[in-house]
Every structure is written in C-alpha cells, then in structure tokens.
Amino acid sequence: MDFNDTAEEAEFRAEAHAFLSQHLKPKTPGALRSGGREDFLERAKAWQKTKAQGGFAQITWPKEMGGRGGTVMQQVIWGQEEAKFDAPTGPFAIGLGMCVPTVIAFGSDEHKKRYVQKALMGEEIWCQLFSEPAAGSDVAGLKTKAVKDGDEWVINGQKVWTSGAHYSDYGILLVRTDPNVPKHKGLTMFIVDMKQKGVDVRPIHQASGGKEFNEVYFSDVRIPDSDRLGEPGMGWKVALVTLMNERLAVGGSPGPDWKEIMDYARSAGTMSDQAFRAKLADWYVAAQGYKLTKFRTQTALSRGETPGPENAIGKIINANHLQDICNSAIEMQDHFGIIADKDEVPSDAIFQESFMWAPGLRIAGGTDEILKNIIAERVLGLPQDVRVDKDKTFAEMN
C-alpha cells in the first residue's frame, strides 16, 4: 500500500507547514507539555484564533460553521504537522474535539449560532462533565440528577476528573432525569454555564504537581430546557457521540518514546545492558505496530469510512508503554531518579513528569479494562460480559 501523499495532499502539507513555521517554534526534542507556564492559557487562546483566521481550525467542519470544508486526510495532515511545533492546543482539545461537535449534532440553530464560532476563535473554552466518584468506567451509572421545574431543570450532584473545568466557560453535562428505567435510558444531556450560581469547581492537586483535573459540585443549578441536547432520556445516545470522539482523541500519548530513552541510554552508557536492549526492541516493535494501525485508520478515513473500535488498541499500547519507558529511565538514572526538579535531574525531568502523568492516561477516555472489553467483544467477537443490571431500573439497582 502506498502511504505517500497525493499531489493535493502534498500541496496542503506544504501550506500547513509554512503557516506553522511562520507562527510557531519547532518542538524541542523530548519536550512534554508547557501547560505549567503562567501565560499558557493566553497563548493557547491566541494560537486558536490565529489558526481560525488562517483557515486551519477544525478543517473538516463546513465553511458555514467556520471550518475549511476540507477532507479528513487534510485534518490528519494538519495534526501531523502541528505536532512538530510548540503549539499550545491543550485547552481546546476537549471543547472542539468532543463538546462542540456534540452541540453541532444535537443542538438547535440558536445553539450553533451562539457557541460554535466563539469556541472556534478561542474566545470560549468547554469541558466535559461525565465521570462521577461512583461512575467512571460505567458512565451510565451516574447519580447527578435533574428535576424538571417549569421551563427549567434543577441539577444536584457531583462530577470528578473534569479536565479544564477551572478555566472553562461552558460544559456539556450528562445527568439522570429518570431513575425508574434501566440506567442507559434515563439520562439527558445539557449545556451548562460553568460560571453560574451553584457551580463549584475544586481543582485536584496531582502527584505530578499539576492541577488539570477538577471536582465539580452542582447545588440547585438551574438550566433552561432550551439548553437541552437531544430528547429527555436520550442522553446516552448523545453521550456516545462524545465518547467516540474522546477515545479517538486520547489515542496518542504525549511524552518520551523509544527514541528518547534510547538516546538517554547512549548518553548514560547503558546501551550494552542486554535486558534493556530487549525492552527497547519490544517498545520499537509495538510503536511500529501502532504506526501501521494508524495507517489503516487513515486509509479508512480517506475512503470516507468511520474508524471502528480497533482504535482502542492504540490507547492501551501507548499509555502502558509510556509508563514502562519512564519507569525504566528513572531506574537508569539511579539516585537522580527520585528527583523531579527540572534544573537538577538529567533530561530535564521529562521522564519523571511523564511517569506521573502516565497512570492518568490509562484511565482517561476509558480504562485499560474497558478498552480491552471493547476489543474483545467488538473486534474479536468474543461473548459479552454478564450484566446483572441489564433489565433492572436504576432505582432498583441503587
């Protein structure tokens, strides 16, 4: 199979690279994330606006939505080229990759007119409010409830692990509106103003030192029925659109790969260690397998097809190998391995920072166990797990 660009794709790649070179610096080898910088959010907003004005934000979106009206392969090419530069994209990944497409799919014309352009231009940031303390992998088991009161819904409950909630303007919120039906049938999706009365966002201090995730509490929060996405009780159908986008979005893993640890091993003089060389070979083979799997996905996209559940494979491989690679590098650093200060440790603590981040990547967008079930059932055709709650109402199970 020929994986080279067509003439049109090569022309677009050159255009994209020229635009990126004009506005950004190339990414430093081994660099992980710049989200800790105080000016990061403003830089991200400025870059998002620059992309939108240049016609490179959400390339596949129709022109009437502010997109380019381009092809999926052009979007893939843009992503490949942007990854080569120090692009502050994080704050908009969830909103433009998951939330706003859900608004476009299920929202009213008023919703689209009000929210889409502002998000595209970097003026407003969105978050996704799904997971709860007792409903992470089993999202449909959530307990945050909404009760109808005239033309409004009154929301009470708690969400957790909400990325970017502390700087988000809006979010999509999945709640329970009917406990007297099976759990997947009693959910409804809403748009919520994250700055309104009754919404309490509490950042979670992470082991890595960051505060990217949040707990969010809802106390008698009122949302107009006009801000509902989809019909009452049909929230699971709406959520599936978001979840499919999420699992595709988190399939890669930021941080060092086999190349970085091989370079470090050479500088540390440990390349002769046979056990390390065997691990390095495993990481290389897995990386090549993932690369070819991505090519299969790109082929499906280029044919206008929708990528299937096999995309879960990439997330499982990348998240686990990131953790394994960083653990090996930390051990290789000996007494320096316990230090996370970027000014004191070899490789600017890239392995330490990534090691702290890797366990979260194995949870975000579906845990390893959930994704293995998806692969087993939907790719390999194995029997489904036994579900004791399948024909029971949510109230009976709680």
* pLDDT tens-digit map of 114-141: 999 999 999 999 999 999 998 988 899 9
Tell me, yes or no, if the pTM score tops 0.75: yes
Q: Is 246 a catalytic residue?
A: yes
Residue 351: what residue type? F
Instruction: Report pLDDT digits (tens) over 305-343.
Output: 766 677 778 888 888 999 999 999 999 998 888 888 877
**Angstrom distance (rounded) from CA 94 to CA 96:** 6
pLDDT at 199: 98
Average pLDDT over residues 275-285: 95
pLDDT at 247 over 60: no
CB atoms within 10 A of CB 55: 16
Instruction: Report pLDDT digits (tens) over 14-39.
Output: 999 999 999 999 987 555 444 445 68
Same domain membership, residue 353 and residue 317: yes
Helix axes 350-361, 312-332, angle to 10 degrees: 150
Indicate the pLDDT class of residue 250, thresholds 50, 70 and 90: very low
pLDDT at 34: 46
Are 258 and 287 in contact by the 8 Å Cβ rule? The answer is yes
Active-site option among 82, 246, 260, 353: 246
- Give the residue with greater pLDDT, 252 vs 96: 96
pLDDT at 301 over 60: yes
Same domain membership, residue 239 and residue 325: no
Instruction: Report pLDDT digits (tens) over 220-241.
Output: 999 999 999 999 999 999 998 8
Residue 81 within any structural domain of the chain: yes
Same domain membership, residue 238 and residue 261: no
Residue 173 within any structural domain of the chain: yes
Provide the mean pLDDT of the chain.
88
Same domain membership, residue 195 and residue 182: yes
Instruction: Report pLDDT digits (tens) over 95-115.
Output: 998 999 999 999 999 999 999
pLDDT at 391: 81
Same domain membership, residue 341 and residue 286: yes
Domain final residue, candidates 88, 116, 138: 88
CATH number at residue 235: 2.40.110.10
**For the chain, percent of residues with pLDDT exceeding 90:** 58
Same domain membership, residue 207 and residue 138: yes
Instruction: Report pLDDT digits (tens) over 72-102.
Output: 889 889 988 998 999 998 899 999 989 999 9
Average pLDDT over residues 54-81: 90
CATH number at residue 255: 1.20.140.10
Same domain membership, residue 235 and residue 325: no
pLDDT at 251: 44
The bridge status of strand 199-203 relative to strand 152-159 is: unpaired
The count of domains in the chain is: 3
CA distances 244 to 57, 131, 240, 248, Å, are 20, 15, 6, 6
Average pLDDT over residues 267-290: 92
